[in-house]
A and B are shown apart, each in its own frame.
Chain A
Amino acid sequence: MDQETLLTIQGYGKFFLILFVFIVFYSYAYSIYKRQKTGERDFEKYSNLVHDDFLDSCPLEKRDNSIEKND
């Protein structure tokens, strides 16, 4: 394969990869927005991870051991 073909592949590859990342990024943004809106998940409560960070305080969300095993 000559230099020219390589550069063409590189160019297209770059374009579509960026497009892909772009789509993933904005669907992430949308999913965050939607989950907050429908109340599926309240993101803002995670600020409490900072305020209530004593070792003996109750975790905001406990780790579920049955899920953890599939890690």
Chain B
Amino acid sequence: MFHWLEQKPFFFAVVLFLTVAFAGFVTIVPDFAKQSQPTVGTKPYTVLELAGRQVYIKDSCNACHSQLIRPFKSETDRYGMYSLSGEYAYDRPFLWGSKRAGPDLMRVGNYRTTDWHENHMMNPSDVVPGTVMPKYPHQFTNMADLATAYANANTQKELFGVPYDTDGMPKLGSWAEAEAQAKEDAKLIASDMKNQSVKDAVANGQVPEIVALIAYLNSLK
């Protein structure tokens, strides 16, 4: 039987594939249903926060920062309550990271403020001497992509049933409504910032990347 198999490339490939695929089906598939349930109080991201999340991904913040607090005292003392599966129910993609060149950011919104982030992103070593983090001045001049953030949110709503526009959840509405709302949210963030060109841009109805990013970071709690 084995001899026959070794000389028949087609059947050989089939058996090989089954051997390889076996583990994936057994381990991953059955747990899908249970895990995607959100924890009580977890809400989907607003359009501005999603735009900030896209900035986070664009500059690969996740290459150096995790968003996963493990259940050890040394981690909960440092970063807060350990992570629960349901807290990630609206994270597409997940951003757990795999390496902490910098600290965990899962609950950074609890202990850092808008002006702290503003100073830190402009020049990290002003705030944390000895840091190895790059400066991100380009986030103060590049504009956030609200339209894509809206498309992102709308896709999640339409396709994956993420409960936007339901009771107690963020409102999405049409693109025009969402854009106006995001710009209102941006003004709130900008009022805590001191960089004049960012303030001017927001007053003119634009949203620099840094504003969206800070909105996202503040939402991490």
Contact = CB atoms under 8 A, between A and B. Distances in A.
Consider the complex of A and B and state whether they touch directly, i.e. have CB atoms less than 8 Å apart.
yes
Interface of A: 3, 6-7, 10, 13-14, 17, 21, 28, 31-32, 35, 41, 71
A10 B10 contact: no
B30 A6 contact: yes
A13 B26 contact: yes
Interface residues of B, number: 9
A29 to B, nearest CB: 10
Contacts of A17: 22, 26
Nearest to B5: A28
B92 interface: no
B58 interface: no
Given A3-B34, A6-B30, A71-B8, A31 B22 contact: no
B2 A31 contact: yes
B8 A14 contact: no
Interface of B: 2-3, 8, 10, 19, 22, 26, 30, 34
Nearest to A64: B7
Contacts of A71: 8, 10
A20 B10 CA distance: 22
